Amino acid sequence: MKLPFLLAAVALVGAPALSAPITRHASAHVKAPPKTPAKVTDESESDRAKRFFFKPSEVRAGGTVTVGGQPIAYDSVAGTLVVHAKEWEDTDTAEADADFASDKDKGKSGPKPEASMFYTAYFKQGVPAAARPITFLFNGGPGSSSIWIHMGAFGPVRVVTADARHNSPAPYSTVNNDQSLLDASDLVFIDAPGTGFSRIAGKDKDKAFYGVDQDIHAFTDFITQFLTKYDRWNSPKYLFGESYGTMRAAGLSLALQQADVDLNGVMLLSDILNWDFMPDDPQLNPGIDTPYVVALPTYAATAWYFDKSPSRPADLNAYLAQVEQFATGDYSAALLKGNDLPEAERQRIARQLSAYTGLSVAYLLKSNLRIEYGAFQKELMAERGLTTGTLDTRFLGDTLDPLSKVATYDPQSAALGAAYVAAWQSYARDRLNYRPDIQFKSGIPIYSKWDYKHQPPGADKPLIMLPNVLPDLAEAMKTNPTLKVMVNGGYFDVSTPYFEGKEELRHLPVPPSLLGNIEYHYYQSGHMVYVHQPTLAELHANVADFIRRTSGAR
């Protein structure tokens, strides 16, 4: 996953439009830490920030969003909750306060790590909170804030961007989001530690929060605190994770259950639960061919979209079903044979691959029938000097280096990121009335230093292997057989191919009686399916229906 957001995302659609009016309610501002004179204390700038930002905070506002022609009045809360690493005890709070009052212990062990996690919550007005569904939403990365799903999919305001091309420059427009999920559920968008307005501090802070299990623990702490603070323990509860956020959501399904929180449902968008299926650099792991198999249908969908298939069928879904059968049948069998694959069979597989992908037989033979991550994006439109998107292959951009072996950037990320960030910066300050004296970080570069070790149920320690949270989700479903799982994906997503999600859940170790708890929905869009307005409407309809069916909400 060489993408800065992987699995976090960045996206959008449309022409400029006037912002929809939003009614404001009573509000308050977040105060910046006061300037402490040097003569009074030599407290460092980081200590001073910790003193003020590492406290629970809350800024209230509100507004109205119209969904399906019906106005929905809501209260909004932008704030922070403080969470701690696993070793933290309740009594450590008093010790931490003592550390600020006295320097005598400083420099010995240092304060224990903690995270101030930022969130934006929306509560529908006029309905009993106890029976109202509540959904916790987050992007991935690892290292991404939640602005993408917030400002692009389900928040009350949506940023307007161009579809499948680079967005026009500022000023950017926001509109009433008629696909907001507030019609079905209260919403809580969460920024992971260190991202957005969230911050981490303390000794070994990176080690304490930047890892698979550390991240799951922080979100478990946050969600249980939130349920207590807002009296939502008896509400129907949901998780919605995108990209790496799906790994977090699957892990959380079990971690929350172990914290006495039974979820009604887990919703996954562009999922990656078993990293052995990831398309990133599989050529460096010879003998593991599943990444090539699960990526093939996405390559075929892209060739179909750009009319690169020799005979382009009208029905994409039926066509992809055919490609999936080839991928798990003849293609998988051929790859499994490795160097023992007979030449005649190699030639036959190359011809069929060429028909599906639009790449030449000569190229496929040279690549040993294996299409490296980034190579398809670079090769498909090479004669025009163009690179397709990775998050969404419908996007095209000029190739940066015509002589490179693989694509060196993602045209979709380049096309849409600035619009999202600019829209959020204005929205947070002008409508949420949240104006902290700290920088907003849409994403942070922690992918390469993330701790990928994971301790699945049944293991006595974190495993030295690529992370796989299928055992976590399976155990959560077995011990809570009412838990429902919704899988969503885009046909034009190379970073987490839609067929990867299908294959992962086909290998979920649950009994046949629980397979009916899983449902699948796929869309003619990319990683962030919501950047394409028709598929945003489909996604909203499917998610709202899922929540209503599994919560008893009306």
Percent of the chain at pLDDT > 70 equals 86
What are the pLDDT digits (tens) for 150-168? 999 999 999 988 787 777 7
pLDDT at 431: 95
Measured distance CA(515)–CA(489) in Å, rounded: 19
Is the pLDDT reported for residue 27 higher than 80? no
**pLDDT band, residue 1 (cuts 50/70/90):** very low
pLDDT tens-digit profile of 361-384? Answer: 999 999 999 999 899 999 999 999
Q: Which residues pair with 57 in a beta bridge?
A: 80
State how beta strands 57-67 and 70-84 pair: antiparallel
Mean pLDDT confidence for 502-523:
97
Report which of residues 31 and 161 the model is more confident about.
Answer: 161
pLDDT of residue 38: 38
Give residue-wise pLDDT tens across range 487-497. 999 999 999 99
Which helix (H) or strand (E) element contains residue 311?
none
CA distance 529 to 287: 32
For domain 45-89+117-275+417-551, the question of CATH label 3.40.50.720 is answered with no
Average pLDDT rounded to a whole number, residues 238-252: 97
Residue spans per domain, the chain: 45-89+117-275+417-551, 277-412
166-199 pLDDT per residue, tens: 777 778 888 999 999 999 999 999 999 999 999 9
- HSE of 379 in the Cβ direction (CA atoms, 13 Å)? 20
Contact by Cβ (8 Å): 471, 457: yes
Is residue 473 within 8 A of residue 253, CB to CB? The reply is yes
Q: How confident is the model at residue 82 (pLDDT cuts 50, 70, 90)?
A: very high
- For residues 180 and 67, the answer to whether their CB atoms sit within 8 Å is yes
At 444 the pLDDT is 93
Counting other chains too, the contacts that 284-293 makes at CB distance below 8 Å and 24 or more residues apart are: 287/338, 289/332, 289/335, 289/336, 289/370, 290/503, 291/373, 292/331, 292/335, 292/369, 292/370, 292/371, 293/327, 293/328, 293/331, 293/332, 293/335, 293/503
pLDDT per residue over 282-294, tens digit each? 888 888 999 999 9
Instruction: Check whether the bond before 462 is cis (ω within 30° of 0).
Output: no
User: The whole model's pTM is what?
Assistant: 0.88
What pLDDT is stored for residue 527 in this prediction? 96
Measured distance CA(418)–CA(400) in Å, rounded: 20
Question: Any alpha helices (H) in 139-243, and if so which ranges?
Answer: 147-149, 205-209, 212-229
Confidence of residue 110 (pLDDT cuts 50, 70, 90): low
* Banded pLDDT at 123 (limits 50, 70, 90): very high
3-state DSSP helix/strand/coil % of the chain, to nearest 5: 40, 15, 45
- Provide the token pair at 385: 């000097």
Q: How far apart are CA 94 and CA 291, in angstroms?
A: 50
Q: Which two tokens stand for residue 541?
A: 């309809």
What burial class does residue 121 get, using C-beta atoms within 10 Å of its C-beta: 0-12 exposed, 13-18 middle, 19+ buried? buried
Q: Residue 452's pLDDT band (boundaries 50, 70, 90)?
A: very high
Average pLDDT, the chain: 87
Q: How confident is the model at residue 108 (pLDDT cuts 50, 70, 90)?
A: low
Confidence at residue 551, expressed as pLDDT on a 0 to 100 scale: 94
Q: Is the peptide bond before 297 cis (omega within 30 degrees of 0)?
A: no
Mean pLDDT of 450-458: 92
85 with 209: CB under 8 angstroms?
Answer: yes
